[in-house]
Structure 1
Amino acid sequence: MPRQQQPARPARRRSYDQFCATARALDSVGDRWTLLIVRELLAGPRRYTDLHADLPGVSTDVLASRLKDMEQGGLAVRRRLPPPAAASVYELTERGRGLLPVLTALAAWGAPALGERRPTDAVRAHWFALPLLRALDGLTQAGILEVRLPEGDFHIRTGADGEGGEVYGYGPVDRPDACLVLGAEVALELGRGACTLAEAVGDGRAEVLGEGPLAVELRGGRCART
């Protein structure tokens, strides 16, 4: 009689096994690609195929594995959209959204390493949101700022509009409160704190469109240098 095959045991996630908050955090997000998936989901719910398209270089197996780990770790959930969409999307939980300051700090720390773009470097417009969030942190006016780069458009929620939900999102929006037009290099300079938005607007390297309170504040240079 053939020996009955035992069901495979689920693989145990690796742990540093250290009673340390940093080690525990890395148990959850220290694997390759996990924080970049968080970066994508900070902009809102996304389908698996969209995540794969905006994470060049990740294999389908690794992406599926990381998403499963994030669900088990309470960082993300998968839900079904109602008709007519009828598609499944992944979105961050409140705990997952709590990683925004971590990603913003990492972007600030890594910005000096972004010199000349390499021929092998992929780029997406919304990847510039995290550096810009640091530069716009001093804004007091709540609203939606549409950012237009040669690489594409995305939008940022400023002030109170950014509380409790997605702080930035993909693509343009209808009737933004202001528009910011600039190049990638200027966006990175702003993120590094090498210049203020008022300075970039003043020397013509950035342009603010709109006449509402948010646009006025952006032109007035009330964004604090960080």
Structure 2
Amino acid sequence: MSRRTYGHFCAVSRALDVVGDRWNLLVVRELSSGPRRYSDLFADLPGISTDVLAARLKDLEREGVLTRRRVGPRATTTVYELTAVGVGLRPVLDALSAWGTPLLGERGDTDAVRAHWFALPLGRAVADLVETGTVTVHIGESTLYYVVTETGVSHHDGPAAEPDLELHLDLSGAIDVARGNRTLADTVTT
């Protein structure tokens, strides 16, 4: 199947040729904290069909945004992870997250939510709290950690091996921080 294209000699349209299809950037969001199995991606992208997820993964792999590899004792499990090209989309996701935060409004009764979906806005809050270092953040049952350097912030699945700081939030606190209603310092327990 040939790739759909806008057919414009423009950097924005070429970028959208690769990541502009529905679900593509959300797949990248899911992989931005580390490798994931297909079943994990499917579980954390409510509303996507298995056919669409498989197609998006194949397209993003073909474009060099992600790669897949086999892991496990007998290499029986496949995980998907971002390539350097895919990691390069992190500033795009950060900008979309910052731009979209005021658009969140109130959570609807049927809106799906996952704690790790707040990783990007919480990363900005973590960077405001610490100049540099490693911070583990627990949001309910979910755990991720941030590495804050002079050049930026990255987030990763699970707890850090030796965090400089460990924070605990409930989901409503994470939402409040993400929306800018409260600061991280006023919300967390250590």
- Aligned equivalents of 1:191 and 1:81: distance in 2? 34
1:114-145 residue CA offsets vs partner (Å, 9 max, x unmatched)? 222211111111111011112223432322x2
- Aligned equivalents of 1:195 and 1:124: distance in 2? 19
| Ranges in structure 1 where 5+ consecutive residues have no aligned partner | 1-10, 210-226
Paired position in structure 1 for 2:85: 95
Who wins on radius of gyration, i.e. which is larger?
A: 1
- Aligned equivalents of 1:172 and 1:142: distance in 2? 14
**The one of 167, 185, 201 aligned to 2:154:** 167
TM-superposed CA distance for 1:50, in Å, is: 1.1
Equivalent residue runs for 1:77-226 within 5 Å: 77-84=67-74, 86-138=76-128, 139-143=130-134, 145-150=135-140, 152-160=141-149, 167-172=154-159, 176-198=163-185, 200=186, 205-207=187-189, 209=190
- Aligned equivalents of 2:146 and 2:2: distance in 1? 39
RMSD over aligned CA atoms reads 2.4
Larger proportion of strand? 2
- Aligned equivalents of 1:63 and 1:39: distance in 2? 14
1:168-209 residue CA offsets vs partner (Å, 9 max, x unmatched)? 2334455543222234444344334455434x2xxxx322x2
TM normalised by structure 2 equals 0.87
| Ranges in structure 2 where 5+ consecutive residues have no aligned partner | none
Tell me how many residue pairs correspond in the alignment: 189
Confirm or deny that 1:57 pairs with 2:47. yes
For residues 182 and 73 of structure 1, do their structure 2 counterparts lie closer, same or farther at Cα, with a shift above 3 Å needed? same
Paired position in structure 2 for 1:26: 16
Equivalent residue runs for 1:39-50 within 5 Å: 39-50=29-40
TM normalised by structure 1 equals 0.74
